[in-house]
Amino acid sequence: MKTKVLLTVILLFIVILTNGQWYTDNLSGPRCQMGSAVLGSKIYFAGGADQYFYQSKVEIYDVVEEEWDEGVDLSIARSFPACVANGAKVFFAGGYVQSTTSQCYSEVDVWNSETEQWEAVEHLSVPRYNISVLSYGNKVLFAGGADPIHNLAYDVVDIYDTETEQWSVESLSVERGSMGAAVVGDEALFAGGLINLSPEVTDVVDIYNFSTNTWSTHTLSEARAFLAAVTVGSKVLFAGGMRSDNTPSDRVDIYDASTGSWDTCSLSQPRSFSQTFATSVCNKAYFVGGAICNLSNMQWEDPTDVIDIYDGILDEWSVDYMPQTVINYAVGGAGNYLLIAGGLIFPSLTVISNAEIFIDNCPNVGVEKIGNSKFEIKINPNPVYSSTTIQFSLQQPETVELTILSQMGRVVDQFVHQGQKGVNKVTWDAGLLPAGIYVCRISANCNYGAKKMVIIR
């Protein structure tokens, strides 16, 4: 059974005319401490706990249908499972239960989205939680993590090959959990982290190359744990975190895989993040909320409702705000939808069922950047009925790729133009595309410009 999210005509009209709009839906019940993963148009929220019991439920939101699937259940109820998608499968690994018989788990539940069935339960080599899990090609990496029962952090990296269905084990250079981790290109980066659940944090970045199966290391500009990592285009942003002196950081380390260079900037305010507090939507990195994670007792304190947003197309930062201030929530992004699910209201620690949904309209309108200079994209006529002329300028002759995207971020047309220095004009035929809002994106040498256009019928 599915429940349909109904939007009024007025709300849809507001969404179209603004940069985005919040509205509230609900999980099937109150939950916090969930894991989250995205596969296609679906966001999976797994495990967690309500006010009294640990949960096994996996609830699934489809951003295309704007509705919740009935959901399925993990093999074991637990909090903080590490979740990631690979191919048609979603992996839910490890986790933790705190009780009179506290326990970490090694179970890896594998959901096949094509058959809509669970596959045989796999197992990590070491039970743990706060695992950093990444996926690329036919490999899934389950790196580091911790066992709070025995005050241990791990350097183990369990690698699962989805083609051979075989496991192998490698090691990080430093044992740790609470890292920031992301994939860019064919590289997996595991940055910072907490060593042996003590106030000691590290600045190490372990880098795994999927193509060569080799490891290398780098260092962050500042050692810290509980930092968020999001990939936007060719860049990975490692944001915030806790320093070893138990103070929060506003530092953002930025790795650009296209140049191999590192840079830094700052969040609007210092804070730390769980691995489920950040995501990407429409070429933007969303660093949602956050708080101070007290390294002496591992408790979240002083949460904020601030959302720092980095636009990878415009190379600009902006700020938005969560509808309410919570901790231990889970964030997921698919298409142009951002979901903030569940959490604890602070300081009452009441568990909530809210699923706050933000629709990002995606188009970046106006004067954008290409190369190192600003230029203006002109589309005439706009609105478009059948065909239109796309005009832009280049500083030098170069190959330019033009991409037309739907409002959901899907590519509906794409072609190459041999650009000349100065003004370029390209005629584009809208064909049989349905009426609606679209984005014309121009890319050259890893730089982008974009403008919104409207097709009418």
Which tens digit of pLDDT belongs to each residue from 363-421? 443 333 344 345 678 999 988 888 999 998 888 888 888 988 876 667 789 889 999 99
Q: Is the pLDDT of residue 346 over 70?
A: yes
Q: What percent of the chain has pLDDT over 90?
A: 67
Residues 55 and 183 in one domain: yes
* Pair (33, 172) in one structural domain: yes
User: Residue 191 maps to which CATH number?
Assistant: 2.120.10.80
Question: Each residue of 214-271: pLDDT tens digit?
Answer: 999 999 999 999 999 999 988 999 999 999 999 999 999 999 998 999 999 999 999 9
Q: Write out the two tokens for 295.
A: 């390294």
Write out the two tokens for 416: 């190459």
Furthest C-alpha separation in the chain = 71
Residue 6 has what pLDDT?
35
Do 279 and 390 lie in one domain? The reply is no
Q: Are residues 278 and 352 in the same domain?
A: yes
Asked whether residue 31 falls in the same domain as residue 79, the answer is yes
Can you spell out the DSSP letters for 205-224?
EEEEETTTTEEEEEE-SS--
In the prediction, which pLDDT does 191 show?
98
Q: Is the pLDDT of residue 10 over 80?
A: no
Give the side-chain half-sphere CA count within 13 A for 376. 3
**For the residues 196-224, what does the mean pLDDT come to?**
93
Instruction: Report residue 11's pLDDT band, with 50, 70 and 90 as the boundaries.
Output: very low
More confident residue, 197 or 133: 133
Indicate the length of the chain as a whole number: 457
* 124 and 270 fall within a common domain: yes
In a 3-state reduction of DSSP, which class is residue 299?
strand
Task: Verify that 230 and 310 share a domain, yes or no.
Answer: yes
- Dump pLDDT digits (tens) for 145-161: 999 888 899 999 999 99
Tell me the CA end-to-end span of the chain in Å, nearest whole number.
36
Domain that holds residue 417: 367-455
One-letter amino acid for residue 209 of the chain: N
Average the pLDDT over 32-41 and give the result: 94
283-323 tens-digit pLDDT: 899 999 999 999 988 889 999 999 999 988 778 899 999 99
When pLDDT is averaged across residues 54-82 and rounded to a whole number, the result is: 94
Q: For residue 315, what pLDDT is reported?
A: 85
For residues 166 and 185, state if they share a domain.
yes
Q: Which residues contact 100 (CB under 8 A, 6 or more apart)?
A: none
Domain termination residue (choose one: 330, 360, 390): 360
Q: Say if CB 94 and CB 104 are below 8 A apart.
A: yes
Q: Residue 355 has what pLDDT?
A: 97
For the entire predicted model, the pTM comes to 0.78
Same domain, residue pair 317 and 208: yes
Residue 7 has pLDDT above 70, yes or no: no
Query: Would you state the pLDDT for residue 199?
Result: 79
- Regarding whether 205 and 286 lie in a shared domain, the answer is yes
Give burial (CB, 10 Å; 0-12/13-18/19+) of 288.
Answer: buried
Percent of the chain at pLDDT above 70?
Answer: 90
Cβ-contact 181, 229 below 8 angstroms: yes
pLDDT category of residue 5 using cuts at 50, 70 and 90: very low
Tell whether 197 and 218 lie within a shared domain: yes
Mean pLDDT of 24-51: 95
Which residue in the block uniquely carries the two structure tokens 């580091």? 144
| Same-domain status, 182 and 201 | yes
Average pLDDT over residues 335-354: 93
CATH number at residue 446: 2.60.40.1930
What pLDDT does residue 197 have?
67
For residues 151 and 196, the answer to whether their CB atoms sit within 8 Å is yes
Tally the domains of the chain: 2
Q: Which residues contact 347 (CB under 8 A, 6 or more apart)?
A: none
Report pLDDT for 296.
85
Counts for the chain of helices (H) and strands (E), in that order: 1, 49
How confident is the model at residue 101, as a pLDDT?
A: 78
User: Which one of 336, 360, 384 terminates a domain?
Assistant: 360
Check pLDDT > 60 for residue 181.
yes
Residue with more model confidence, 61 or 446: 61
Predicted local confidence at residue 454, as pLDDT: 84
Average pLDDT of the segment spanning 16-31:
79
Between CA 283 and CA 219 the distance in angstroms is: 26
Q: Cβ contacts of residue 150 below 8 Å, gap of 6+?
A: none
Domain boundary among 360, 388, 418: 360
Residues 416-446: tens digit of each pLDDT: 999 999 899 999 999 888 877 788 888 876 5
Mean pLDDT across the chain, nearest whole number?
Answer: 88
Residue 186 has pLDDT above 50, yes or no: yes
Return the higher-pLDDT residue of 127 and 315.
Answer: 127
Residues linked to residue 451 through DSSP beta bridges, in sequence order? 440
**Is the pLDDT confidence value at 447 over 60?**
yes
Residue 18 has pLDDT above 60, yes or no: no
